[in-house]
Chain A
Amino acid sequence: MLIRWQGSLFPVFALYKNFTLLACFCGLGIGYALAHRRPLLLPMTLPLLALTIFLLISLRYASLGDVFFFVPVKEETSVFDLHNMLPEWASAALNIPAYLLLIVTFILNVLIMAPVAQFCGHVMLRANTLAGYGCNLLGSIAGVGLLFLLSWLWTGPVIWFAVAAALLLAYQLVSYELPLERNHYIGLGAAMACIIITAYPVEPMVQNIYSPYQLIQKSTKPDGLMNILSAGAYFQKVHDFSLQNLSRESGQQRKILGYYELPFHTAPSLDSVVVVGAGTGNDVAAALRLGAKAVDAVEIDPAIIALGKANHPEHPYDDARVNVVNDDARTFFRNSDRTYDTIIYGVLDSHILLSHGSNVRLDSFVYTKEGLAEAYSHLRPGGQMSVSFALPNLRMGFKIYSILSELRGGGAPVAVLTGYDTDKTYTFMVRKDGAVVLPIAFMAAHDLVDRTSDFAKGWPEKLDVPTDDWPFFYMDARMYPTSYVISLLLVLALAALLVRKLLPDQRWNRSLMPFFFLGAGFMLVETKAITELGLLFGNTWHAIGIAIIGILVMAFLGNLLVAYSGFRSATVSYVLLLATIAVGYAVAVAGGVTQADLSAKLSLVALLTGPLLFSGIVFSTLLKDVEDLPSALAYNLLGAMLGGLLEYNSMEFGFAFLYLIAFALYGLALATTWLWPARAR
């Protein structure tokens, strides 16, 4: 909830999604470590939550809110990218507010989570460890399920915070002395403050919609047509280019019309068309105007489809020739057996949207070598594929051009500066078994410029083309990102400071070190599993949600097995765990599982979830000999923080490499289990 909400306020949280997650892990770890101590701090949670909401909303909507829109990530391009336009010192100075925001929010997130974990840990002290851990996993599954239910219902932060506040308040009220004390009144007031402040700001002319992916803000352009923002940044707008609109060829409209219709003027046939990233329907409307006979319109966000259906002046989604599909572009092609004359990639770039559960962007697997090749394989002979992109820098254009020029049987690609909205939007086109013929007269009439020769000569510096293993389209090349390293050092320093302050006399317990390494390894294997499962079943919110729940179910099954089977050998479980990771790495390096049939999918699911099951069994086997469940969880969660930090290695080495790190971490867990065994009860 905090991750989604904070990401919808400031782009820096959307790009540093891990930051909030790491803060939560840190808070939970500290909270569980505090389980033995008094006083119980639960009454602090609601006032701190209210303070966080007040602070972030004030900063976001105060006149200086723009200061915090700058994103201190110079390795990855974004629409908030000013690094290339400013001198070094100015760029560094602009980073300061964002770093301050990250620090303050990190501390507040830790302080919000710690009391809840302390309370939960305090109750766990009286429970049987395996049964308590089982309930912890069941609760986790239910918590994720509740969040996804609320996402499915398109609810917003007012509802999320109301649910959280009601639960917190209920526990606070029934667990302390009655009659009501001052703490309870403060809690009640803070709960109401959470809801009231979240409802701010009131913008009568803007409709806020919390789709499962993002905060969509619908407003109206001066011409009366719909305009859409995503978390405060420009996202989409609809156009009326119907023949009845007499101004369709006037001024700037002419250029925009040219952008939308160019791919259809160059396409050899419009019998069968697919538009991925169809948005509210502008591309589909263009296809219909120019005589397309059948159009598949693929859009990942159901709220965008609904807005297009209700508000597009040409009503493309109501046309009998159009089949609207709510799916991820990559998954659509992977699961479809249809072929097309024309494939159109709308401008589906997600400049600030990250996938659920990992640090790749929602569109990352669309613009990989394998992703574009998969789409291209659906072209009929002589068919044409068109990819449009608002390029923050030309290097990204060279990547697209390079991928298209390597497609088997494709003619030489063309690149046209279409300049839609910005002067940086390009449309790249490639034809199967032939060359694209550009409509010179149409282009001249609509100010579209052929820039193929610029791209054909190649980019002089090193550029890494994105692949499914290294899907970082927005990065120029594989590198250890210094911006992230600075932020990660910040996380470590803050975590160390908070542990020192909140747990001043805490000593490391060597016999709990295996739990630390298990947490770190689990985080990496989980990231790899979520990324791969997203690739296989779609980067849609529900597919990722089911993957996260599935991972927790695996851990729960492992615990159940240990609790009821009498299985006690941690070494055997470790061997199985390391073996499944080794197999997973070998398969990933060999190119992964690419077939779409059921048996291939099932074998990949088994391959990805195997390590999670065995790590669950190891965890529960070790837990049997530990009396202090909250401390074991504290070590595990702080280890998960380390895993979250190590996840960024994928930006240099790719995702398969995470398996190697996980292998090493699980090896360390095994070594520490042998070296410092917990005393058996």
Chain B
Amino acid sequence: MASLCLIVPLLIFAARIIKSSPVLDALFFQRLPILAILFFSAVGVAGYGRLKGLRERWLHDLVETSSEQLAARDEKERSTALYSTITVLSGLTLFL
């Protein structure tokens, strides 16, 4: 409760300062939706990885586990992770 009492007025104060400057306003408020989407996507991905052990079944395995160990895993799951990763990353290189 004490934290809230401190944080909320601070946020309002910061927002007022930013709004008073056209430069800061344009930099932050007009870009807020994109920043928010990016932030929550990242948090969401991280959170999902923690929840469901995504890393154990997905990319982390492809990076860390030896080929022999990997081959022993479920073929379909392994292939999906492997080939979708190659496709997306190759797409990213062309996009960049």
A-to-B contact residues, CB < 8 Å = 1-2, 24, 28, 40, 112-113, 116-117, 119-120, 122-127, 131-132, 135-140, 142-144, 146-147, 158-159, 162-171, 173-180, 184, 188, 191-192, 195-196, 199-200, 202, 204
Q: Closest CB-CB distance, A274 to chain B, in whole Å? A: 38
Taking A140-B90, A146-B95, A184-B46 as given, write out 10 further A-B residue pairs in contact, using a Cβ cutoff of 8 Å, ordered by the A residue number. A113-B93, A120-B86, A132-B83, A136-B87, A144-B95, A164-B96, A170-B42, A176-B60, A178-B49, A199-B27
Report whether A170 and B41 are in contact in the complex, using a CB–CB cutoff of 8 Å: yes
Q: Mark contacts of B26-57 with chain A using CB atoms, 8 A cut-off: 1 yes-contact digit, 0 otherwise.
A: 11101100110111011001100110001100
Chain A nearest CB, measured from B58 CB (Å): 6
User: Contacts of B63 on A, CB cut-off 8 Å?
Assistant: 40, 119, 122-123, 175-176
Q: A173-B42, A174-B55, A195-B38 are in contact. Are A139 and B26 (CB under 8 A)?
A: no
**B92 CB-CB contact with A under 8 Å:** yes
Q: Mark B63-88, 1 if CB is under 8 A from A, else 0.
A: 10001001000000000001111111
Q: A127-B83, A174-B54 are in contact. Are A192 and B35 (CB under 8 A)?
A: yes
Count chain B residues whose beta carbon lies closer than 8 angstroms to a beta carbon of A: 42
29 A–B contacts from the bound complex (CB under 8 Å): A2-B96, A24-B96, A28-B93, A112-B96, A116-B96, A119-B63, A122-B62, A122-B63, A123-B63, A124-B86, A126-B70, A127-B86, A132-B83, A139-B88, A139-B89, A140-B94, A143-B95, A159-B34, A162-B37, A167-B92, A169-B38, A169-B42, A174-B54, A178-B49, A192-B39, A195-B34, A195-B35, A196-B35, A202-B27
Bound form: Cα–Cα A283–B11 in Å: 54
Shortest Cβ-Cβ A-B pairs, 6 listed:
A139-B90, A143-B94, A143-B91, A139-B91, A120-B89, A175-B59
Q: Which one of B35, B37, B41 has the highest number of Cβ atoms from chain A below 10 Å of its Cβ? A: B41
Q: Does B9 contact A (CB under 8 A)?
A: no
Residue of B nearest to A24 (CB): B96
B23 interfacial by beta-carbon distance below 8 Å: yes
Shortest distance from the beta carbon of B57 to any chain A beta carbon, whole Å: 10
- Write the chain A residue with the least CB distance to B78: A126
- Decide: A164 and B92 in contact? CB cutoff 8 A: yes
Q: What residues of B have a CB within 8 angstroms of the CB of A24 in the complex?
A: 93, 96
Of chain A, the residue at the smallest CB distance from B65 is A126
Q: Which residues of B contact A125 (CB under 8 A)?
A: 67
- Most-contacted residue by chain B among A28, A147, A178, A184 (CB, 10 A): A178
The reply to whether B92 and A143 contact each other, CB–CB distance below 8 Å, is yes
In angstroms, Cα B46 to Cα A120, docked, is 20
Closest to A125 in B: B67
What A residues does B90 contact at CB under 8 A?
A: 120, 135-140, 143
Residue of B nearest to A162 (CB): B34
Residues from chain B with a CB closer than 8 A to the CB of A144 are 94-95
Among A127, A131, A175, A179: residue with most chain B CB under 10 A: A175
Q: Within the assembled complex, what's the spacing in Å between the Cα atoms of A170 and B49? A: 10
Q: Say yes or no: B38 contacts A171, CB within 8 Å.
A: no
The DSSP consensus for interface residues of chain A is helix
Contact check: which of A117, A119, A140, A166 meets B38 at CB < 8 Å? A166
- Whether B95 pairs with A166 at a CB distance below 8 angstroms is no
Chain A contacts for B83, CB-based, 8 A: 127, 131-132, 135
In the assembled complex, the CB of A23 is this many whole angstroms from the nearest CB of chain B, namely 11
Bound complex: CA A178 to CA B64 (Å): 13
CA A486 – CA B73 in complex, angstroms? 53
> Which residue numbers of B lie inside 8 Å of A, CB to CB?
22-23, 26-28, 30-31, 34-35, 37-39, 41-42, 45-46, 49-50, 54-55, 58-60, 62-63, 67, 70, 82-96
Residues of chain B within 8 A of A199, CB atoms compared:
26-27, 30-31
Q: Could you say which of B67, B85, B94 contacts A147, with CB atoms under 8 Å apart?
A: B94
Q: Are B60 and A1 in contact (CB under 8 A)?
A: no
Q: Closest residue of chain A to B26, judged by CB?
A: A202
Give the residue of B22, B50, B62 whose beta carbon is less than 8 angstroms from that of A123. B62
Residues on B with beta carbons closer than 8 Å to the beta carbon of A120: 85-86, 89-90, 93
In angstroms, Cα B40 to Cα A604, docked, is 50
In the complex, A468→B27 CA distance in Å?
46
Q: Give chain B residues whose Cβ lies under 8 Å from the Cβ of A135.
A: 83-84, 86-87, 90
Quick check: A116 and B34 within 8 Å, CB to CB? no
Known: A139-B94, A184-B46, A192-B39. A126 touches B67 (CB 8 A): yes
Q: In the complex the two chains form, what is the Cα distance from A113 to B94 in whole Å?
A: 10
Distance to closest chain B CB from A75 (angstroms): 31
Q: How far is the CB of B20 from chain A (nearest CB, A)?
A: 14
- With both beta carbons as reference points, the residue of chain B lying nearest to A633 in the complex is identified as B90
B60 touches A139 (CB 8 A): no
Q: How far is the CB of A120 from chain B (nearest CB, A)?
A: 4
Q: In this complex, what residue of A is CB-closest to B84?
A: A135
Are B34's CB and A158's CB within 8 A? yes
- Which of A113, A173, A174 lies in contact with B96, CB distance below 8 A? A113
The residue of chain B having its C-beta at the shortest distance from the C-beta of A32 within the complex is B93
State whether A147 touches B95 (Cβ < 8 A): yes
CA distance A222 to B91 in the complex (A): 46
Residues on B with beta carbons closer than 8 Å to the beta carbon of A123: 62-63, 82, 85-86, 89
Closest partner residue, chain A, to B53 (CB atom): A178
Instruction: Point out the residues of chain B lying under 8 angstroms from A195, CB to CB.
Output: 31, 34-35, 38
Taken together as a complex, chains A and B put the C-alpha atoms of A374 and B60 apart, in Å, by 59
Closest to A629 in B: B86
User: When the two chains form their complex, are residues A173 and B45 in contact, meaning their CB atoms are under 8 A apart?
Assistant: yes
A143/B31 in contact, CB under 8 A: no
Contact A1 B26 (CB under 8 A): no
Chain A hits for B86, CB < 8 A? 120, 123-124, 127, 132, 135-136, 139
Q: Shortest Cβ distance from A411 into chain B, in angstroms?
A: 51
Residues of A within 8 A of B84 (CB): 135
Chain A nearest Cβ from B65, distance in angstroms: 9
Q: Are B59 and A171 in contact (CB under 8 A)?
A: yes
B91 CB to nearest chain A CB (Å):
4
| B26 surroundings in chain A (CB, below 8 A) | 199, 202, 204
Q: Is the CB of B55 within 8 A of A138?
A: no
Contacts of A159 in B (CB 8 A): 34
Q: Which residue of A lies closest to B67 (CB)?
A: A126
Please give the distance in Å from A149's CB to the nearest CB on chain B.
10
Residue among B35, B62, B67, B95 making CB contact with A1, cutoff 8 Å:
B95
Greatest chain A CB density within 10 A among B83, B84, B88, B91 is at B91
Q: Which A residues lie within 8 Å of B93 (CB)?
A: 24, 28, 113, 116-117, 120, 139-140, 143
Alpha-carbon distance between A467 and B82 when the two chains are bound, in angstroms = 49
Contact B95 A178 (CB under 8 A): no
Query: Nearest chain A CB to B61's CB is how many angstroms away?
Result: 9
Question: B39 — which chain A residues lie within 8 A by C-beta?
Answer: 188, 192
B46 pairs with A173, CB closer than 8 A: yes
Contact call B41/A164, Cβ cutoff below 8 A: no
Q: Which residues of chain B have C-beta atoms less than 8 A from A170's C-beta? A: 41-42, 45
Residue from the list A1, A2, A138 in contact with B87, Cβ < 8 A: A138
